[in-house]
Amino acid sequence: MSEQTFAVDHARVRLRALVWTVFVPVVLYGIGSGAAAPMFALRALDLGASAGVAGIVVALSGLGMVLADLPAGRIIARIGERGAIAVGSGVGLVGVLCAIFAPNAGVLAVGLLLNGIASAVWGLARQSYIVAVVPRAERGRAFSTLAGASRLGSFCGPFVGAGLVYAMGPSGALWLQFATTVLSGAAMLAIRSAEGDDVDSADHTLRSVVVENRRVLGTLGLAALLMGGARASRIALLPLWAAHIGVSAATTSLVFGIAGAMDVLLSYPGGIWLDRYGGRATGIPSMLLFAAGFAALPLTTSALELSSVAVVLGLANGVSNGIIMTVGADVAPPAQRAEFLGAWRLTHDIGMFTGPIAIGLISAATVLGASALALAAAASAGAVAMYRWFPGSTLRRDSPDADHS
């Protein structure tokens, strides 16, 4: 596709046009994932797994994402976004069915691994499509809305699935995930062709893309990794600390709900800020908020104090919604977009996968509070990395280059 045609495509697509083909399907997908996420551990326990084994089984979803990020980029480059969505939906449906009908924890583990793979393909296809059709000056809002839609679905999922779980047990939420995967996949298959839908015959491999872009992946990617670690560790550490100070499970759930609402509400305003002032001005405050929240966590001794820290961490996550996708889109080489974005997502997903593991290792060797302080230090290092390498203000909409990558 020529640059002229690509510019016309950009001029035709605004965020409102993506509501039913991108954002609503993401909410649906998030509802199913959010409903099913807390049920996988219970499903493992039902199959006779110990608490430790159940935790390992659940972690395989994150491993699936890490393993699939690079191949997902190549799949999208070869068959386009719509083809990749079809593949991802099919893999996800197989994974859910494995989880529903698993006769043992081993089959459940396979199902969760497939779920992670499907999430990686789905996520990268959505990102690549938005890069192809949304003007650069609006990417921050597009990606923050995308992230906010996913968070909104995950927030609503447990409430939507509660009746099914009451009637059918943990499998009820998994059937909801099956249904939402079908509906969201079908809706996204209605997207119109984008630049990335053509088969890519360029003479480059995954290895060559990583090697050619190793400086960007090693610098900006380090900041993305540290942000991924902070985000995932927030989810893992808060309930552990809540239990440590004697806060009940019901109260902990309420605390998460308040923080989750703050996360969703800040998504679009965060995107406007990102478009106007750029990745550095968005990422640094976000990482400093993460650092402040983690540093304050060991000082909390009550539900009210814990809620205050949870809100700070929710603010950090909400402000940063979409920043990793936006920065990755801005620095992606046009001729290697899908493969580069796969490698870029890998840096963030490695942080998401290893952050909770680091909490467990540090806590086992010392005390739980030490994990929070280590995370505060890592988040501070992330702020420094963003100051050093993240881009400043994005191109303005009226810039002559505003519609080009």
Shared domain check, 179 and 217: no
The model's pLDDT over 4-55, given as tens digits with 9 standing for 90+, comes to: 333 334 434 677 888 888 999 999 999 999 888 878 888 888 898 886 678 7
Taking the C-alpha atoms of residue 348 and residue 325, their distance in angstroms, rounded to an integer, is 10
Same structural domain for residues 46 and 96? yes
Tens of pLDDT, residue by residue over 81-106, are 889 999 999 999 999 999 999 999 99
Same domain, yes or no, for 261 and 383?
A: yes
96 plus 26 within the same structural domain: yes
In the predicted model, residues of the chain with pLDDT beneath 70 are 1-13, 51-52, 192-204, 393-405
DSSP state of 245: T
pLDDT at 203: 57
The two three-digit tokens of residue 217, written as one number:
């992946």
**Residue 166: is it exposed, middle or buried by C-beta count within 10 angstroms (0-12/13-18/19+)?**
exposed
State the residue for tokens 């199902």. 111
- On whether both 161 and 254 belong to a single domain, the answer is no
**Per-residue pLDDT at 223:** 95
- Is the whole-model pTM more than 0.75? yes
Q: Looking at the structure, do residues 79 and 114 belong to the same domain, yes or no?
A: yes
Helix/strand/coil (H, E, C) string of 295-355? Answer: HHHHHCCCHHHHHHHHHHHHHHHHHCCCHHHHHHHHHCCHHHHHHHHHHHHHHHHHHHHHH
Question: Both 319 and 347 in a single domain?
Answer: yes
Residues 6+ apart with CB under 8 A from 215: none
Is there a domain that residue 403 lies in? no
Distance CA 375, CA 229 (A): 8
Other C-beta atoms lying within 10 Å of the C-beta of residue 155? 20
Nearest Cα to Cα of residue 53 among 43, 63, 62: 43
Where in the sequence is the domain holding 238, given as residue range(s)? 206-395
The total number of structural domains in the chain stands at 2
Domain holding 342: CATH number? 1.20.1250.20
